[in-house]
Structure 1
Amino acid sequence: MAASPEECRQALTTFSENLGKATGNARAAAQLDRSLSCWVTDLDLSFTGRLHDGRIDDLKETQGRPPHKAQIRLTLTGDDLVALVNGRLNFAAAWASGRVKLEASILDLLKLRSLL
């Protein structure tokens, strides 16, 4: 059964809470101040917000692709989003296989790798 919009929102909320608990290099990456979007392809649903002070602020949900090009963009299915946050899916393997798409500047990608 596919993840619901509510499960996807909860996964992003959990991810935001986990960012606030990050330490070391991951803490530095979590401190980025960037716009963020997550397009859940199978639900054709987007979540947008701002990565700021170690959490995701102003999380909004809209139908379709993200309305604006965020500085950090994530594209994946709802099931993969939930599995990533719950630790059942390895980000590097999912990204390498094309299941998950992450777009950001090269410098942001280098910082984000400690989170993923």
Structure 2
Amino acid sequence: MATVEQCEAALADLVSRLDEVDPGKWAQHAVNRTISCHISDLGVSYASRLSKNGVAPFTPTGDPKSAQVRLTVSASDLIDLAADRLSPTKAWVSGRLKIEASVLDLLRLRKVL
């Protein structure tokens, strides 16, 4: 099982990769949304904000349920997602990544990614 520190580094890597998305494409499809990532086996959660300017760094949060887009994943799967050893689609279809969001938010995120 991965550590909290490894998960924080993985979240930072994901934010860095999202910063590389074409700014025009990002601005066209991204809207202001709060996002949380709950790491189920470690029992920790992080929050961030999506906006037309990109993704803010993830910070620890006590209430992941208040976010508009909520992700739940195990520590090892988060590490694999960040390292591109696991695709988000494959993780979601297999139940390893749980995403709670409105259908419109899911479609917007899919266009950006």
Q: Whole-Å Cα distance in 2 between the matches of residues 80 and 25 of structure 1?
A: 30
Match of 1:51 in 2: 50
SS in 1 for 2:21: coil
Give the Cα–Cα distance (whole angstroms) in 2 for the partners of residues 79 and 72 of structure 1: 21
Q: Confirm or deny: 8 A CA contact 2:30 2:112 kept in the other structure.
A: no
Kindly indicate whether the alpha-carbon contact (under 8 Å) linking 1:32 and 1:54 is maintained by their aligned counterparts in 2: no
- CA–CA distance in structure 1, aligned partners of residues 82 and 106 of structure 2: 18
Corresponding residue number in structure 2 for 1:11: 10
Structure-1 residue corresponding to 2:95: 98
Give the fraction of aligned pairs with identical amino acids, expressed as a percent.
Answer: 39
- Contact 2:48–2:55 under 8 Å retained in 1: no
* CA shift in 2, pair 1:93/1:111, >3 Å: same
Instruction: Identify unmatched segments of 5+ residues in structure 1.
Output: none
**2:19 counterpart residue number:** 20
Q: What per-residue deviation string (whole Å, max 9, x for no partner) do you get for residues 54-104 of structure 1?
A: 1224x32146x62x4201100010111111111000111111111110111
Unpaired runs of 5+ residues, structure 2, are none
Report if the CA contact (8 A) 2:29-2:111 is conserved. Answer: no
CA RMSD of aligned residues (A): 2.2
Greater CA drift, 15-24 or 74-83: 15-24
1:76/1:11 CA distance change after superposition, 3 Å: same
Bigger helix share: 2
Count of matched residue pairs = 112
Give the whole-Å Cα distance in 2 for the aligned partners of 1:29 and 1:39.
28
TM-score by length of 1: 0.83
Write the distance in 2 (CA, Å) between the matches of 1:114 and 1:85: 19
**TM-score w.r.t. length of structure 2:** 0.85
